[in-house]
A and B are shown apart, each in its own frame.
Chain A
Amino acid sequence: AQKVTQAQTEISVVEKEDVTLDCVYETRDTTYYLFWYKQPPSGELVFLIRRNSFDEQNEISGRYSWNFQKSTSSFNFTITASQVVDSAVYFCALSEGFGLVFGAGTILRVKS
């Protein structure tokens, strides 16, 4: 069965520090999709990125970057120069048939 592990329960950083959120997944599928979502205090899940299993190219979007390594089944997320507004819970998710399997999430606290 599919599984997503986010080993970091909570991370605290000071503004402008870089921070990496880890995600490790398990699947027997050869074709699958990985996602990152952000859940700010307001509660609504906000989509950040979707990657398919055939595309291992790293991606950068502004201060956000993602490192997908199939060999280690990891899909890590780095925020460069963190800001207070980045404080939220971040979820990594894996496609499973129709639904998504989510990790338990990492709470990121960015202090000014």
Chain B
Amino acid sequence: DTGVSQDPRHKITKRGQNVTFRCDPISEHNRLYWYRQTLGQGPEFLTYFQNEAQLEKSRLLSDRFSAERPKGSFSTLEIQRTEQGDSAMYLCASNGQTSADTQYFGPGTRLTVL
């Protein structure tokens, strides 16, 4: 049974560019979460999907951030017009039966904005 996977693992971009990250959850999990983790802090919840429906997105950091899960399987997180403050680790997690179930995390995508 494979775990949560994320791609790419590292991304370096210039300020103002758009970036997109991908997350593949554990196959039988219908819930998927995105978090951001900055240096020295715990992960911060961004958004949540149940199947293809995005049920919580008020925590996305600005309107430059958007996420999709078009077929209820993998998800993408896009940041438009990146800023240096967007540099962080972006984590994806998934779980199954209920939103209170244990969330299993992927290895993360480390974004560096120059």
Contact = CB atoms under 8 A, between A and B. Distances in A.
B92 to A, nearest CB: 11
Interface string B68-111: 00000000000000000000010101000001101111111010
Given A45-B105, A47-B104, A99 B91 contact: no
A45 to B, nearest CB: 4
Given A43-B108, A95-B100, A98-B99, A104 B48 contact: no
Interface residues of B, number: 26
Given A33-B100, A45-B91, A95-B100, A101 B45 contact: yes
B45 A105 contact: no
Contact of A99 (B56, B106, B107, B108): B56
B16 interface: no
- Is chain A's interface secondary structure helix, strand, loop, or mixed overall? strand
Interface string B21-61: 00000000001010100001111110010000001100100
A7 interface: no
A16 to B, nearest CB: 28
A42 B105 CA distance: 13
B37 to A, nearest CB: 8
A46 B4 CA distance: 12
A98 B56 contact: yes
| B42, B93, B103, B105 — most chain A CB neighbours (10 Å) | B42
Contacts of B93: 45
A85 to B, nearest CB: 19
A39 to B, nearest CB: 9
Pairs A-B, 10 closest by C-beta atoms: A102-B42, A99-B45, A45-B105, A98-B48, A44-B107, A98-B99, A98-B56, A50-B102, A33-B100, A91-B42
